[in-house]
Amino acid sequence: MADQQLLTIMNERGVIRFDEPVQLRSGGYSDTFLDGKKALSNGAALRHACQLMIDAARADGVAWDAVGGLTMGADHFAHGVALLAERDWFSIRKQPKGRGTNKWVEGGSIGPGTRVYLVDDVVTTGGSIQEAYLRVTELGAEVVYAATMADRGEVAAEFFAVRDIPYLPLLTYRDLGIAPVERTE
């Protein structure tokens, strides 16, 4: 069951409705845009959502060493969850910057033996959180849990279920009363 405080925050601050459908990062279209960053731009709202993510993993008995995901949808959760749970955070670039260390992953060290908690703000067809999964597993880390504030469909749940990784959307399209966005090919 959805957390009513988070649902109120999202509905009041993060749900934007348009007269005509707009294109989403996934390539799909919707007349409803979910702005997770705007919804949680207030410290108390962000703390609440991050604590829900921590509580969910703990309730499922999952221990993790580092939390993060693809920038920038995961960044505020990575920082908030890491701070509240006293864990490392990391951020995955969309592409290496081409200078300095030229790394995909910044922040905490991710590698063999690292238990990773993947996070994102809004998942539509799962492209960003799946890319994050691939980047950290390429480094030898083990993804032990994944969560998002809002999931607009079923694709990410299927992706993690096949890999036997617990996945929790704090809010679903059903909770928000919106139509699911289907996978685009």
Distance CA 72, CA 75 (A): 5
Instruction: Report the pLDDT value the prediction gives residue 185, as an integer from 0 to 100.
Output: 55
Pairwise CA distance, residues 108 & 120, whole Å: 17
Unique residue bearing structure tokens 């200078």: 99
Q: Which domain holds residue 77?
A: 4-176
Task: Please check whether residue 185 lies inside any domain of the structure.
Answer: no
Tell me, yes or no, whether 21 lies in a domain. yes
136-171 pLDDT, tens per residue? 999 999 999 999 999 999 999 999 999 999 999 999
**Count of the separate structural domains present in the chain:** 1
Whether 184 is in a domain gets the answer no
Residue 182 located in a structural domain = no
- The answer to whether position 183 is within a domain reads no
Read off the tokens for 117.
Answer: 């908690």
pLDDT score, position 165: 98
Contacts of 180 (CB under 8 A, 6+ apart): 152, 153, 154, 173
Question: Any idea what DSSP says for residue 99?
Answer: S
As a whole number of angstroms, the distance between CA 18 and CA 135 comes to 34
Domain containing 159 — which CATH number?
Answer: 3.40.50.2020
Q: Is residue 98 part of a domain?
A: yes
Q: What is the mean pLDDT of each run of 10 residues along the chain (185 residues)?
A: 95 94 80 94 98 98 98 96 98 84 90 98 93 97 98 95 98 94 64
User: Is 160 a member of any domain?
Assistant: yes
DSSP 8-state symbol, 12: I
- For residues 76 and 39, the answer to whether their CB atoms sit within 8 Å is no
pLDDT for 184 equals 57
Residue of 69, 173, 81 lying closest to 130 (CA atoms): 69
Please check whether residue 181 lies inside any domain of the structure.
no
pLDDT at 141: 98
Q: How much is the pTM?
A: 0.93
